[in-house]
Structure 1
Amino acid sequence: MDLIEIIPLASLVIMLFIAAFYDIRSHRIPNWLTFPAVAAGIAFYTCTKGIPGLIFSVEGMFLGIAFFMPFYLAAGMGAGDVKLMGAVGGLIGMKGVFMAFLGTALIGGIYAMILLAFHGYLMETLKRYGTILKVFVLTGRFTYLPPEKKEKMPVMAYGVAIALGTLFSVARVVAMEKW
């Protein structure tokens, strides 16, 4: 890895730590963090690699946004999370953001299970989704079963999952020296 390639990675790491901190503290990821990160990624790759660098960064940004947009539209995720993944894509490109998305999904699933268990909802949730799956297998129709109790579910700071999943995936790639 060339010394110049460390610049977007260092920017990524700093941005992810700040995003996770803000998400834990206020359940928001600020625009003043994500928008400059996208601009920095686009500017860096355009200056260092020209038009192919611009395309690399913009494609990564759009793919990062595309991964989380359905969850945002279904009200399962905040806009800051979507913009954060777009910023990740702008800094590490399409292949990098794809790997970051996989790492984030894995970490996010584990995080959700821990959060549900901590708040006492895990067994009820697993039984409910097991019933949904059983009905689907037997009838071929998807039937959603809402929770029995109308209690406030715990809120995830998904920026933490994005940060950990991205850092894990980037560390893996850097360790393999295939960046």
Structure 2
Amino acid sequence: MGNPDSKTPAPTADAPATETDDLGLDREFFLILARAPVLALIWLAAGAAAHQFWAALSPTGGLNAGPLVVLCFGMVLAAFIDGWALKVPNWVTFPLILSGWMQGALHDFGVPIDAGTGGFLMSVGCTAVGFLLLFPMLAIGGVGVGDVKMQMGFGAWVGAYFGSGATTAAVGQADLHALMVVFWGFAYGALVGGAFGLIIIFIRRQWGANAQMYREIGGDLVRFASGNAAEAAKRAEERRKKWVKLPYGIPLCVGFLLFLGQKLILEG
């Protein structure tokens, strides 16, 4: 048994004390949550300003895509950080999600902040769909949590802007339902991500190892679909130690931009 009079040594310079509360919670995370509403208001104001600026440039009417420009900037910012640090930070994703919900709520109350028609429920619904589309890959370690939150932010804004598609249909554009935009933006991102993966495979030229890796990923997806998510996650965690990390935020961003560009510019 230990000496009851002994004392725990104070932290030294070589072993600094960690700054957590009694529950072991990450204080930095809660600081980000506390700042998120302020940052969300900034994103919201940027969307409204972009709407007014677009209207001034196009006085004859037509689709006002000012808020979508702000959304694309947010996606590019998240992708750039992901490519640099292999992580999409919460101070980008949380405010994007929250500001999208704010837009939807303002639309419900008839506040003319922009040309969007989607309400709060549509914004939240598209946020949830964005999460669900990437959840299987998250569960097997194929993408990071930040990538999922990035797509959720995209869904929040898309839901508030497009709604049921009435805005785009009214100005002669393709009838873009918000849920369709979220799904096809994700699909385009998956195609771009697959292309990025093929490029990496050709650069590394480790054909056998890569083929084995894809077989294992496919097997884990089957395990996840059959209800054995815990085993799939465990195997994926071991596999992550030896694979080359791809900042998936980049193909997600490129996919979103390609889809929006195709529908709103090429087909508009």
The alignment partner of 2:243 has SS state of coil
Match among 125, 134, 138 for residue 68 of structure 1: 134
* Whole-Å separation in 1 of the counterparts to 2:140 and 2:252: 19
Task: Kindly state the Cα deviation for residue 62 of structure 1 after the two structures are TM-superposed.
Answer: 0.4
* In structure 1, distance between residues paired with 2:213 and 2:71: 38
CA offset digits 1:150-169 (Å, max 9, x no partner): x9321101000000001001
- The one of 140, 144, 154 equivalent to 2:244 is 154
Partner of 2:27: none
1:43 to 102, 117, 120: 102
Q: How does 1:2-151 map to 2 (within 5 A)?
A: 2-3=63-64, 5-7=65-67, 9-50=68-109, 53-93=119-159, 94-122=179-207, 125-126=210-211
- Which letter does structure 2 place at the counterpart of 1:34? T
**1:76 to partner: Cα distance:** 1.4
Gaps of 5+ in 2: 1-61, 111-117, 160-178, 219-240
Gaps of 5+ in 1: 134-150
Would you tell me which structure has more helix in proportion to its own residues? 1
Checking the alignment, whether the CA contact within 8 Å between 1:42 and 1:58 is kept in structure 2 is yes
Report the Cα offset of residue 117 of structure 1.
1.5
Q: Which has the higher contact order (CA 8 A, sep 6+)?
A: 1
Aligned CA-pair RMSD: 2.8
CA distance in 2, matches of 1:172, 1:49: 29
Aligned mates of 2:140, 2:209 — CA distance in 1: 22
Work out which of the two has the higher radius of gyration on C-alpha atoms and give 1 or 2. Answer: 2
Given the superposition, is the C-alpha separation of residues 46 and 155 from structure 1 closer, same or farther in structure 2, using an over 3 Å criterion? same
Cα drift, residue 96 of structure 1? 1.2
SS in 1 for 2:242: coil
Alignment-mate amino acid for residue 16 of structure 1: M
Separation in 2 of the partners of 1:53 and 1:164?
Answer: 26
Q: Is the 8 A contact 1:116 1:154 kept in 2?
A: no
Q: Which amino acid aligns with 1:74?
A: I
Specify whether residues 49 and 23 from structure 1 end up closer, same or farther in structure 2 by C-alpha distance, changes over 3 A only. Answer: same
Q: Are residue 170 (structure 1) and residue 170 (structure 2) matched? A: no
